[in-house]
Amino acid sequence: MTNPVLDPSDPKTLLDPFTAHSTARERSPIALMPVPGLGDLRVATRHDDARAVLSDPRLRVSANSFIGLPGIPDHCLRYLRTMSELNGPEHQRVRRLAAPAFTARRAARFRPRITELVTALLDALPDDGEADLLADYASPLPSDVICELVGIPEADRERWRAHGSAVVSGNLQGLVAAVPDVIEGAKAAIAHRRAHPGDDLLTWLLEVEDGLTDTELTTLVWHLVLAGQTPANLVVNALEALLTHPDQLALLRERPELAPRAVEELTRWASPQLMATPRFAAEEVEVGGEPVPAGAPVVASLVGANRDPRAHNDPDRLDLTRAEGGHLAYGHGPHFCLGAAFARVETEVAITGLLARYPVVELAETPERVPDGGTWRLASLRVRLSRTA
């Protein structure tokens, strides 16, 4: 059987990845995606195969995704080996130190503060009029949350919001240009917390006896703060999904108790992350019944897995009452998204807060998708809002 090809330069693949990955998935468990510098990237398109890729210790992440980018100054390179690019015991050690700040229990305790931040953002929106829910609502929220959680001083948060916008927008050039500043910003935050301890992750990490080196701590801080802003795309995708499925929007308004289940379904159906970080075979392995030679790259298609009828009944249908779980939007295995619990709470509070404030929320214009091989995202989400039905 010939493996189907997913062409990352094809507008159909970029703007409708669901159809592209689904078509490939039904032809073969493994698709091929030509990527400059990697050759043919093997894409595991089915749920069970994607899950196996994410959990197989013989498939290892690379430490070169940032280091290999052109334009980054040499003095910054030592700070670019992030937690998501570590393997085995080294990854476990760094993750174990950061994990206590991101538990579901901590996210639940943080919910009142997230609600306060959402309320402040809602207060800045018009009572009746138009707004861009990406720029005016979804983007500021996760930035404020992660900055408070990590311990970024209030005076420095605007610079992190600006850099986070480059991450959310997929602006690789902007991110590369920001690297020296985010590293210096992380160092400044560490110095501030050494002098002024608080109730945050940085204070905890500085107090741990068997902690991180200065390089590891600097790297962890900038990476967590930038990565923690990515839920903005999830919030906007989820809101667009509701606005284009009026029956599901009406259902959530009628039954707000469905919110936690609705967030899981919206995350499965509208996750912005299309594929996981590529893995490289440390030895020959088998994926989807096909051999992957040592050194070859392979990646899990999250969008393929989350729309796989083998794992989800009628997967293309958005159903907020869907009881089944098991989506891979946050990954799986040792690199499961550290901030998943917070992303769930942020998304739920953002959606329910907006709907509670505004009886009328409707699209002001047809949203425009950004062609991006890595994320499914919007350039903006302009809506009409009204506090009177």
- % pLDDT > 90, the chain: 80
The dihedrals phi and psi of 108, each to the nearest 5 degrees, come to: -65, -40
Judged against a pLDDT cut of 60, whether residue 140 lies above it is answered with yes
Higher pLDDT among residues 172 and 318, named by residue: 318
Query: Residue range 104-115: average pLDDT?
Result: 96
Query: Which residues lie closer than 8 Å to 319 by C-beta, 6 or more apart?
Result: 248, 265
pLDDT value, residue 37:
77
pLDDT value, residue 118:
98
Judged against a pLDDT cut of 80, whether residue 257 lies above it is answered with yes
Judged against a pLDDT cut of 60, whether residue 114 lies above it is answered with yes
Which 3 state secondary structure label does DSSP give 32? strand
Judged against a pLDDT cut of 90, whether residue 171 lies above it is answered with no
pLDDT value, residue 282:
95
User: In angstroms, what CA-CA distances link 298 with 18, 59, 62, 252?
Assistant: 19, 8, 12, 38
For the segment 146-163, what is each residue's pLDDT rounded down to a tens digit? 999 999 999 999 999 888
CA 119 to chain centre: 23
Query: Residue range 203-215: average pLDDT?
Result: 88
For 44, the enclosing helix (H) or strand (E) is strand 39-44
Q: Any bridge partners for residue 5, and if so which? A: 32
For the segment 82-102, what is each residue's pLDDT rounded down to a tens digit? 898 899 999 999 999 999 999
277: which DSSP letter?
A: -
Judged against a pLDDT cut of 90, whether residue 169 lies above it is answered with no
pLDDT value, residue 35:
87
Kindly list the structural domains of the chain, giving each domain's residue range(s) and its CATH number in brackets, ordered by start.
11-386 (1.10.630.10)
Judged against a pLDDT cut of 80, whether residue 27 lies above it is answered with yes
Which 3 state secondary structure label does DSSP give 366? coil
**112 with 64: CB under 8 angstroms?**
no
Indicate the pLDDT class of residue 177, thresholds 50, 70 and 90: confident
How far apart CA 350 and CA 212 sit, in angstroms, is 34
Query: Residue range 183-192: average pLDDT?
Result: 95
For the segment 29-41, what is each residue's pLDDT rounded down to a tens digit? 999 999 887 789 9
Q: Which of 193, 122, 124 is nearest to 156 (CA)?
A: 193
pLDDT value, residue 1:
61
Query: Residue range 315-324: average pLDDT?
Result: 93
